[in-house]
A and B are shown apart, each in its own frame.
Chain A
């Protein structure tokens, strides 16, 4: 409590505060940068048209400027879009895990000939932009008469997600103790039984991680959905939302678009909120293992 001590204390205290302050400013800027566009869209979706087009912009709308009309204007068809996205994403995730897990296991443990070549190809292929594929796939879709069929999306979505699935699952399988599988072999498990009864139950976290990534990528895919699906009732969220504006030339319906954005991305936001750690783990495992 002496007078001599206090300036020193406050000086050193101030020093630490500066560093923390800089950190918190950084954190704040980062959060703002990441959330602001989404929050602005959220706000827009609740504002009445007059508030949306007010100049200067309305950041804090009064209760009279708020409405649910934009959500109501989307109509029942929007639930159809969400259902389409959910069906396509879920099914392609399931198929992707069902075909990717055995492949990943074989590439992790069974030392098949050509293993390295397959892995390198899988890695390279994961870099391909989808625009290079849609032309050839369009022909396949036409050939099998799959236009406006969920299969026209499920198969390509499985394909584009398989590289990541294989690489991530393989890296998880390799981390399993080899003794467990040896023990299972001695106990009399066949390879298929071992995969199903020993390996997969032990790698459920990895399957969840991969499944979430696959689901998100499938939900967000745009170019295939735009090309292979033309019937309105079959459309998935990204295409449906992008085409809301196309109805009228003179007045872009900002409110409904914003409402559609919020509804259409809600499942993804929930996934991120619940599985943040797993998603981060998956992204790193998929890329670093390359």
Chain B
């Protein structure tokens, strides 16, 4: 029998710390170090001009960002892409969730089908979408022609607005399942009694949707939006594969710009500053979302 010198609780804490240590170490290496390093590196100029030697330059990288029209354009592009795609995803995802919440034969299979886009690699499916939106042979043009909506083939990925639309369409396809699954979980947690009671009170299904369904799935909606916002804001593979940021930078997102700055222009210091700014913007947005999340949760419990 061991009569250890420290208490049971102390031993428990020590064991706990040992158990989290490897995971924490990996998380620090993969997340904390790169972000922290970016903060540090953003204070240096390290590019071809300095022969890739890091020379301290204070906040000059940040000054450069302020005057960097290309950055602001990519930020605008990212914002357009993010807001349009997550709003569309939310609407379509909600319809999917409502459909999947019904009882019908073969629901399991339909759910499997609905999950598929989520599971496929974005980069690979980006190629499929590029093929679909091909100017000459793409099925998008073919279908529109058959429907009589267009008479001659239109340029998709070569046109600034339509390229953005094509990207958003592909992103919606890819990520709607994620939102639908989260919302479905929310829908399934709502008791049927509520709808029945509401119907007895004389409410139409449409009113029930607005007065019961939406408020009660609000937490899941905010969570889904939060995750999707962060992902869409950092969108890289889809754009890289489908348009490469073109035409003429019309679909260049922040992450594409960061990647090009580092990999093509080898401007590490400036790339780091871009990383820092993007990071801070993201944290700000997440903080706002988290604030709303805590409020909706309160509301929901209050109403219940």
List residues of A whose CB falls within 8 A of some B CB. Answer: 23-24, 26-27, 30-31, 33-35, 37-38, 40-41, 44, 52-57, 99-100, 102-103, 105-107, 110-113, 118, 121-122, 124-125, 127-140, 155-156, 158-160, 162-163, 166, 191-192, 195, 216, 219-220, 222-223, 226-227, 237-239, 241-242, 245, 254, 257-258, 260-261, 264-265, 268-269, 271-273, 276-277, 279-280, 283-284, 287-288, 290
Contact = CB atoms under 8 A, between A and B. Distances in A.
Contacts of B145: 56
Contact of B114 (A31, A237, A254, A260): A31
B116 interface: yes
A57 B137 contact: yes
A257 B134 CA distance: 14
Given A26-B99, A30-B96, A132 B38 contact: yes
Interface of B: 12-13, 15-17, 19-20, 22-24, 26-27, 29-31, 33-38, 41, 95-96, 99, 102, 104, 108, 110-129, 131-132, 134, 136-137, 139, 142, 145-146, 173, 177-178, 181-182, 184-185, 220, 223-224, 226-227, 230-231, 233-237, 240-241, 254-255, 258-259, 262-263, 268, 271-272, 275, 278-279, 282-283, 286
B227 A159 contact: no
Contacts of B99: 23, 26-27, 30
A204 B114 CA distance: 26
Given A134-B259, A159-B31, A160-B30, A284 B230 contact: no
B137 A55 contact: yes
A227 B116 contact: no
7 contacts: A56-B142, A110-B15, A133-B30, A135-B37, A135-B268, A222-B240, A242-B240
Given A37-B117, A105-B19, A288-B185, 20 more contacts: A23-B99, A27-B99, A30-B113, A37-B132, A55-B137, A103-B20, A112-B20, A127-B282, A129-B278, A130-B236, A131-B254, A140-B33, A159-B29, A191-B15, A220-B123, A222-B237, A245-B127, A284-B185, A287-B220, A290-B223
